[in-house]
Structure 1
Amino acid sequence: MRPGIIDRYILRYFLGTYFLVLILILLIAIVFDISEKIEDFITRGATPREIIFDYYLNFIVYYGNMFTSMIVFISTIFFTSMLTNRTEIVAILTGGMSFRRLMVPYFIGTATIALLSMALAHYIIPISNVRRLHFENLYINQNTGERYSDIHRQIKPGHLIYLENYNPDRKSGYRFTYEVFDGQKLLSKLSSDFIRYDTLTGTWRLDNYTIRVIGTDGDKLVIGRQKDTLLEFKPDELSPSLYSVTMMNTPRLLEFIRAERIRGSEKVNMYLIELHQRTAWPFATVILVLIAVSISSQKRRGGMGFNIALGLALCVTYIFFQRVSVVFSTNGNLSPLAALWLPNLLFAIIGAFLYRIAPK
């Protein structure tokens, strides 16, 4: 049999099995999601059009892409095990094709899926997340009234703000200070017991405020009860969250991270994790396919069931390492780049070992 025919045969089954498994898993996920949230949809007045086009259409894109690596892994094990049980792999190898050459159609299909997944993660999904997350916030999630404490930000070089407590829903906070420095020298300090943002005028209202200006000929002190003023920051800059970050495409996210570093945000690692996982997770598809073909291309006593069980065990292990490394990055000193790529590096080594011992 000519290599071109074999390539098309494997590639057709590879992509066909992937899309079949993807559709089945997403259908199951949608059924469970509907059963869990149907009461929210009804009681909060979501229309069928909003449910289908604003939520579930974007739900499919988001979760389908998130689990693409795992779905490719499972589908590769399934269909390669079928080829092995029908002795088709043996026939191809004994016909003169090397195992390395046999991997070519697998990696053509994998590269196609991985590149599509990266494009979706970097540019398309952030746009689709706008409608999905808005729907969730409107009809599903309860308003938690989340508060933030001890917020320190550098608005621009030499301009530092502090809030003891901030409520992003009300756009208000307590114990506010705004300090302006020239190097190590304090030039002015604004203090206020309470601060609230006026969305109509775009100004901040200060209650019980004090303004201290330090000059060469002495300090100038201004005390007042209430003042409306323009300040060089917006409410979203005080408490940006992953909710908003997931709605930014990669160029916008890079700009946002640079700005947050200047402000001294303590959440930069979380934003970097969101950035790096958009590439690391799709790239894992290539590694997992190498592992899947290596372990399912030989007949075992347990048959296809053993290969699938082994594949699921490796899949769970990979997810476990991903979660552990992300926790170390969020709460420890591990860089986000290392947190997202160390599991890929570890499983690449495992994949190379399994490929080496696979039947040739």
Structure 2
Amino acid sequence: MKILDWYILKRYLFTFLMMLLLFIPIAIMVHMAEKIGKILSNDVPFDELAMYLLNFTIYFANLLFPLFLFLSVIFFTSKLANNTEIVAFLSSGVSFTRFLRPYLIGATIVAFLALMLGMILAPKASKGFNEFRYKYLSRNKNIQDTQDVYRRLSDNEIVYVSNFDPKSKNGQNFTLEYLEDNKLKYKIFANNIRYVEEDSLYRLSRYYKRVYDTNGNVTVESENSIDLKFSFDVDDLTPVNYIAETKPYGELVDFIDKEKRRGSPNIGRYEVVKYKKWSLPVSVFILTIIAVAVSSVKRRGGMGINLAIGITIAMVFVFFDKIFGVLAEQANFSPLIAVWFPNVVFGILALYLLNNARR
């Protein structure tokens, strides 16, 4: 049986690799055809474009990793079924569960690769991909929350800016509250705040400060203009929307903890990214089982019927994944449930189809 295991495992990995090599160049060509006008009009340097395409390849592969695997398993398993090879395997006394073993070994290999890709390579690729996209292809899109910025920068500091421009590093109606033991120690107001990069200082216009002592007395300070050094960076005020995608897992966990303390409104978006790093490898096993259960039966319509069923299931999976992801990012829906719900639903479907396939 080891020969048959090795035979199926080789077909599993080879077909998956061929699926990647087939679809990724197509995706690159379609993407280039759509964006070529903007690339030429912006005089994009060739080395930046080449790096962007490399990052796009990794980003695209990570995004659709399970679906490529799903379709590849359906494709080669349907060929086995049409050639009556599966019937020969099972007729020799091999159980369907035993027949499934090389598929699960292959899924383990692919799931490990997906885990490493999501934890290490994909964040770097996502950073390069998004930076290029917003620099050359989507210049007019707002990638940062710049209105009514409210952030708890530390256990002691709370900052508010009504409007902040990341390009000019200039903000309006700035307020900073400093607390100790939940008691307000001082409060700073300014009509305008601007980061002076060469001095690493913040220039405040129409500065006004209230200092509260232990007896409840208030001391007031005011200046027309003053330069101060704060403990926060400019990027802490308005992080880019895609920042969670650009961080390796360890940094992402620390970043989310820090953002929770700061009262960031984007926690749902960040946690969706975190949970997907774990849910993606699990979906590899679920989709592999579904693909084998669907395509191991020889049908009258041949491979086309199996592929049609597989594509339908894949589209429903993507639909669930996107809908619940948006709910978690833009509503008070649990990110944990949003990310894992498709896996739970399709996991139940996988068990049902596997039970029928055994019969």
The equivalences for 1:44-123 within 5 A come to 44-52=42-50, 54-123=51-120
Post-superposition shift, 1:119? 0.5
On the 8 A contact 1:297/1:359 being kept in 2, the answer is no
CA distance in 1, matches of 2:2, 2:329: 48
Counterpart mapping for 1:240-259 below 5 A: 240-259=239-258
Show the 5 A alignment for 1:157-168.
157-168=155-166
C-alpha change, 1:132 and 1:147, in structure 2 (3 Å) is: closer
Q: For residue 352 of structure 1, what is the aligned residue in structure 2?
A: 351
Q: CA deviation at 1:252?
A: 1.0
Question: Counterpart of 1:271 in structure 2: which amino acid?
Answer: Y
Query: What CA distance in whole angstroms lies between the structure 2 residues aligned with 1:331 and 1:65?
Result: 23
What are structure 1's unaligned runs of at least 5 residues? none
1:281 partner SS:
helix
Q: Which digits, 9 at most, give the CA deviation of each residue in 1:144-165, with x for residues without a partner?
A: 4665222221122132111112
1:220 Cα deviation after fit: 0.9
- Between 287-296 and 134-143, report the one with greater CA deviation: 134-143
Do the aligned partners of 2:145 and 2:238 also contact (CA within 8 Å) in 1?
Answer: no
Is the CA contact 2:58–2:121 (under 8 Å) kept in the aligned structure 1? no
Q: Is the 8 A contact 2:134 2:141 kept in 1?
A: no
Contact 1:207 1:225 in 2 (8 A): yes
Contact kept? 2:160, 2:174, Cα under 8 Å? yes
Cα deviation per residue 1:34-63 (whole Å; 9 max; x = unaligned)? 1112222222222333322x1111211111
Q: CA deviation at 1:191?
A: 0.3
- Give 1:217 deviation, angstroms: 6.8
What's 2:167 paired with?
169
Q: CA shift at 1:170, angstroms? A: 2.0
Cα pair 1:298 1:359 within 8 Å, conserved: no
Equivalent residue for 2:202? Answer: 204
Cα distance in 1 for partners of 2:257, 2:93 equals 54
In the alignment, structure 1 residue 300 sits paired with structure 2 residue 304: no
User: Does 2:129 correspond to 1:132?
Assistant: yes
Root-mean-square deviation over aligned CA pairs: 1.6
In the alignment, is residue 194 of structure 1 matched against residue 192 of structure 2? Answer: yes
Distance 1:223 1:359 in 2: 80
Given that 1:150 and 1:165 are in contact with CA atoms closer than 8 Å, whether structure 2 keeps it comes out as: yes
SS at match of 1:161: strand
- Native 8 Å contact 2:19 2:72 kept in 1: yes
Q: How many residues align?
A: 357
Q: Which residue is 2:281 aligned to?
A: 282
Contact kept, 8 Å, 1:147 with 1:168, in 2: the verdict is no
The 3-state SS of whatever aligns with 1:156 is coil
Post-superposition shift, 1:16?
1.3
User: Shift in Å at residue 143 of structure 1?
Assistant: 4.1
Q: 1:354: Cα distance to partner?
A: 0.2
Counterpart CA distance in 2 for 1:243 and 1:330 is 12
- In 1, Cα distance between the equivalents of 2:145 and 2:167? 8
Residue in 1 that maps onto 2:29: 31
State the secondary structure of the residue aligned to 1:280: helix
Query: What residue identity is the alignment partner of 2:200?
Result: G
Using structure 1 for the length normalisation, give the TM-score.
0.95
Corresponding position of 1:5: 3
Question: TM-score when scaled to structure 2?
Answer: 0.95
Gaps of 5+ in 2: none
Distance in structure 2 (CA, Å) of the matches to 1:297 and 1:184: 64
Question: Which deviates more from structure 2 when the two are superposed, residues 151-160 or residues 135-144?
Answer: 135-144
